[in-house]
Amino acid sequence: MYIEIALAKTSARIMYAADNVTLSRDEMESRRLAAAEDLLRGITQARVARKFGVSRTTASRWCRTLGGEGMERLRKRKATGRPSRLSASQLEEVREMFAAGPRAAGLDSDRWTTARLAAAIEIRFGIHYDPDHVGRLMHRLGLRPKLRAAQASEPVRDVLNTPGFEMHV
């Protein structure tokens, strides 16, 4: 969430850290570079921290990096970590497989679970993934299982019908 405020006769956009907004790598780089420009113009670290919704420690680290290694060091770098075992085309096939449903993938079910999708990936590509990792993969690919209306209310009905359950209003 952004709001407009006036600082020393100029308008500035502030992002509140309390909103728990997740920024992309490009957005984080833009924020660092904009903060660096402010630091170079003499704006205090505390004011930069407030303006960009970061801690004073982060603003201090950006200032130290800017002074020692320059603006280029504040640019984004290649993400580290293990490369994906599935290629981009295989990930697209996973999307298509998910859209077609578990039965089309040779499974005996109408609903995807992370375990079922992990099994389908192993059958199709020969790559074993833990169901927990498949959940992260589904999130990254934007895959969401579709719930029937009855399924969405089943857990509540189960709790309400549990012997000994009392609801106090």
Q: pLDDT tens digits, residue range 7-34?
A: 554 544 544 444 556 788 889 899 999 9
pLDDT tens per residue across span 72-121: 888 887 777 888 899 999 999 999 999 999 999 999 989 999 999 999 99
| DSSP-derived secondary structure for 9-48 | TEEEEEE-GGG-PPPPHHHHHHHHHHHHHHHHTT--HHHH
Burial 26-42 (b: 16+ CB within 10 A, else e): eeeeebbeebbebbeee
Q: Give the span between the Cα atoms of 147 and 111, in whole angstroms.
A: 9
- Residue 75, both tokens: 């640019």
